[in-house]
Amino acid sequence: MSEQSFRTLGEFIIDKQEDFKYSTGELSRLLSAIRLASKMVNREVNKAGISNILGQVGSTNIQGEDQQKLDVLANNIFINSLSQREVVCGIASEENDEFIEIKASENAHMSKYVVLMDPLDGSSNIDVNVSVGTIFSIYRRVTKPGSPVQLEDFLQKGQHQIAAGYIIYGSSTMIVYTTGNGVNGFTLDPSLGTFYLSHPDIKFPTKGNIYSINEGNYSKFPQGVKDYIKYCQEEKEDRPYTSRYIGSLVADFHRNLLKGGIYIYPSTANSPNGKLRLLYECNPMAFLAEQAGGKASDGFKRILDISPKELHQRVPFFCGSASMVTQAEECMKNAIDTKL
């Protein structure tokens, strides 16, 4: 089938607008703003090797991580693209200590959505040409429309997300997102600058045999995680599983989504809450995982049920094929029971 016969992302967004009975088109415009920003970031990521934007901008973000020049650029591109369309009243980003109130014009305050994002996840891989990604999460504001956006508009449980997705800047560039009616993937044709529906209604394969975890931290893992890794490695039934870890959440998640697998970033002795951030990494990926028939927990409870306490809080993260996450949770529970 020629690519022209695939639906474009633009057509899909408009067609799916019917899913929201009282839709005003605002969410469609929001998703279109993300689409435009993703093409602009894609252009910068693809030429990073030649422009002098590699390396660190010399500053660090709230996480104490060195900010890469592309991190800052991607952050600005998404913030500008969202602000100029008056489709959001607030933005929270991994790269900004505080949330951003969008006051582009009076209308902006009337916007009913807030966006939380990791503008360029996996950025430590930029200089070595490994896939990186953007992760976004969209909520309806809970404070009065027209009033300035508040922290509580961002500190919502993941189960209240209106939409979530990621862009993966890899061997091809894709947008994968959900609005609560399944997960769909769109691949960019760079010659046309158009995203085409290439992966309709994505579901995790029922069985997965890939586990993704940084085993360099093994000695610092909780006993339950050590037990699960041993479970994956033993010669039994459909095991040993395959170990694949790219060090880029979006890339690892995307591969596991298509092939079946589990991604784990657990608590460790020196990071009791793990490394990943609840609001703009774990919640959007958990929403996608559940919409694709998978599962996401902190090892014990559902990620989407966690009540956020602060913007950049971290949580342990187990996400992927439902049966694999359940098995990992079994190991976590048994390790606790054995200790008692």
Contact, 19 vs 27, CB < 8 A?
Answer: no
Q: Contact region for ligand P6P (CB under 6 A) — 69-77, 107-115, 241-249, 302-310?
A: 241-249
121 binds ligand P6P (CB under 6 A): yes
By beta-carbon proximity to ligand P6P, the closer residue of 180 and 247 is 247
The Cα–Cα gap between 248 and 229 comes to: 20
By beta-carbon proximity to ligand P6P, the closer residue of 6 and 136 is 136
**Which one-letter DSSP state was computed for residue 2?**
-
**Count of residues of this chain found to bind ligand P6P when the rule CB under 6 A is applied:** 10
Residue 192 annotated as binding site:
no
109 binds ligand P6P (CB under 6 A): no
Distance of CA 83 to the CA centre of its chain: 21
Counting Cα atoms < 13 Å in the Cβ hemisphere of 44 gives 23
Extract the tokens encoding 164. 């979530």
Q: Contact region for ligand P6P (CB under 6 A) — 154-162, 218-226, 243-251, 331-339?
A: 243-251
One-letter amino acid for residue 211 of the chain: Y
Cis before 240 (ω within 30): yes
248 binds ligand P6P (CB under 6 A): yes
Q: Mark 187-226 with x for binding to ligand P6P (rule: CB under 6 A) and - for no binding.
A: ---------------------------x------------
Residue 321 annotated as binding site:
no
Q: H or E segment at 12? A: helix 9-16
Distances (CA, A) of 315 to 120, 166, 280: 19, 19, 11
In whole angstroms, the minimum distance from the beta carbon of 201 to ligand P6P comes to 26
Extract the tokens encoding 42. 């894609």
Which position among 90, 119, 122, 284 is part of the footprint of ligand P6P (CB under 6 A)?
A: 122
The Cα–Cα gap between 219 and 222 comes to: 9
Which position among 41, 72, 73, 249 is part of the footprint of ligand P6P (CB under 6 A)?
A: 249
By beta-carbon proximity to ligand P6P, the closer residue of 145 and 247 is 247
Angle at the Cα of 147 (from 142 to 149), degrees rounded to 5?
55
In whole angstroms, the minimum distance from the beta carbon of 275 to ligand P6P comes to 6
117 binds ligand P6P (CB under 6 A): no
Q: Parallel, antiparallel, or unpaired: how do β-strands 262-265 and 317-320 relate?
A: antiparallel
Residue 122 annotated as binding site:
yes
Q: Which residues inside 133-192 make contact with ligand P6P, applying CB under 6 A? A: none
The Cα–Cα gap between 253 and 167 comes to: 12
Which position among 56, 76, 124, 159 is part of the footprint of ligand P6P (CB under 6 A)?
A: 124
Residue 304 annotated as binding site:
no
Residues in the site for ligand P6P, rule: CB under 6 A? Answer: 121-122, 124, 214, 247-249, 252, 275-276
